Amino acid sequence: MSLPPLPAQPSDVPWPTKAWPRGEQPSLPARFEALIAEALAAPDSPTLGQTHALLIAQRGRILFERYGAGFAAGDTFPSWSMAKSITHALAGLIVADGVLDIDAPADVPEWRGANDPRAAITLDHLLRMSSGLSFTEEYRPDQPSDVIEMLWGKGKDDVAAFAASFPLAHQPGTHMAYASGSTNIVARCLARAIRKVGPDFEAFMRARLFAPLGMTSPIPKFDAAGTFIGSSFCFATAQDFARFGLLYLRGGVWEGRPLLPRAWIDYARTPTYQQPGAVDGPYGAHWWLETAGPGTFSANGYDGQYIILAPDLDLILVRHGATPLDKKERLKAWVGEVVDCFR
């Protein structure tokens, strides 16, 4: 399939490795101010919940940046599942190093038993949320939830082992089901591939991904087994999350040199097969698709965390907050409406 082209960094705009360049907000429709007021006029919006940070960058410059009451630019915000897209970037670095093959069976010790059907699961299946494992992604406290048990219950000391213990519910590659457990299995596969866990893996993250982008604020979290909890836990400032987004919007290039292969960025935004009736929207490889309209791709997190990338506008929108589940659909629509103001 044909993917929308990604924009190049404007030749007259410096890369934001040390500081984000600033630009003048263009003339926007009155609707823009109404949308901003909906999010930030009160600490707790009746339609969107709490918005803690909102940053919009276009053509390599920040045009709009505002924080909710009690929050500031230096604050680090939870990623929640935006960390999955960071895990995708880490996988891309290791694949580019030639020590990992996403189409080979995933290196998961729990699946090596004789005739274990899970041995057919590849890293590609895991990155596309198509492993077929019977993992339940549920966040309502009154419902059975494998993700809550993994992050805060009996699985919290070894999140990857917990996730890998589930049986198949579907043949690998035939059924897409969003599962945080899949990402934590990926994170352990990455650690095994480069033989680094805990502090050593964090050093890899900083040296190969965060430092080149000028991301100084990230705080990744690890479990007791030394696995990066890549499904959910990497704190950073809004500006640093925007830097991460810019890496993908620029096709993996930073400061004029390839940091991630362009093909890996395109892999992220190539649609995954979804069975009829899937309701959460199109998905790529650890990135969501079309959250803010055709051609957009995004890192989305629980509570309404977003890094929205709109290639046609050369635009990044970062939003942090705390939005209840019953307001999530309005928030998703709101994000799309804000992006549309720039069209």
Residues 106 and 60 in one domain: no
Confidence of residue 31 (pLDDT cuts 50, 70, 90): very high
Has residue 152 been placed in a domain?
Answer: yes
Predicted TM-score of the model (pTM): 0.97
Name the residue with tokens 């990623």: 79
Q: What is the domain count for the chain? A: 2
Neighbouring C-alpha atoms within 13 Å toward the C-beta of 236: 31
pLDDT of residue 85: 98
pLDDT of residue 118: 98
**Ramachandran bin of 198, using left for φ above 0, alpha for ψ from -120 to 50, beta for the remaining angles:** left
The amino acid at residue 309 is: L
pLDDT of residue 277: 81
Contacts 24+ apart (CB under 8 A), 214-219: 214/16, 214/17, 214/18, 214/243, 215/240, 215/243, 215/244, 216/240, 217/76, 218/76, 219/76
Has residue 72 been placed in a domain?
Answer: yes
Residues 241 and 333 in one domain: yes
> Radius of gyration of the chain from Cα atoms?
19
Q: For the residues 273-297, what does the mean pLDDT come to? A: 93
Burial label for 163, CB within 10 Å (0-12, 13-18, 19+), is buried
Residues 263 and 310 in one domain: yes
H/E stretch holding 40: helix 30-40
Confidence of residue 264 (pLDDT cuts 50, 70, 90): very high
Q: What is the CATH number for 242?
A: 3.40.710.10
Q: For the residues 165-172, what does the mean pLDDT come to? A: 98
Q: Which domain holds residue 295?
A: 30-77+237-340
- Of 165, 193, 221, the position where a domain reaches its end is 193
pLDDT above 90 (res 312): yes
Residues 51 and 149 in one domain: no
**For residues 242 and 77, is the Cβ–Cβ distance under 8 A?**
no
**For residues 305 and 311, is the Cβ–Cβ distance under 8 A?**
no
Q: How far apart are CA 306 and CA 308, in angstroms?
A: 6
Q: How far apart are CA 314 and CA 5, in angstroms?
A: 10
**For residues 40 and 54, is the Cβ–Cβ distance under 8 A?**
yes
Q: How far apart are CA 63 and CA 307, in angstroms?
A: 15
pLDDT above 90 (res 16): yes
Residues 59 and 105 in one domain: no
Residues 121 and 69 in one domain: no
In tens, the pLDDT along 104-162 reads: 999 999 999 999 999 999 999 999 999 999 999 998 877 889 999 999 999 999 999 99
**Paired tokens of 94:** 């290791």
Three-state SS at 102 = coil
pLDDT of residue 76: 98
In tens, the pLDDT along 218-247 reads: 999 999 999 999 999 999 999 999 999 999
DSSP 171-214: -TTS-----HHHHHHHHHHHHHHHT--HHHHHHHHIIIIIHHHT
Residues 160 and 189 in one domain: yes
Has residue 11 been placed in a domain?
Answer: no
Residues 62 and 119 in one domain: no
Nearest C-alpha neighbor of 86 from the set 272, 283, 220, 179: 220
> For all residues of the chain together, what is the average pLDDT?
97
Euclidean distance between the first and the last CA atom of the chain, given in angstroms as a whole number: 24
Backbone φ, ψ for residue 118 (5° rounding): -70, -15
pLDDT above 90 (res 280): no
pLDDT of residue 139: 87
Has residue 22 been placed in a domain?
Answer: no
Has residue 172 been placed in a domain?
Answer: yes
pLDDT of residue 135: 97
Has residue 63 been placed in a domain?
Answer: yes
pLDDT of residue 162: 98
Residues 56 and 103 in one domain: no
Q: For the residues 197-214, what does the mean pLDDT come to? A: 98
- Of 193, 209, 225, the position where a domain reaches its end is 193
Nearest C-alpha neighbor of 218 from the set 197, 203, 196, 240: 240
Has residue 168 been placed in a domain?
Answer: yes
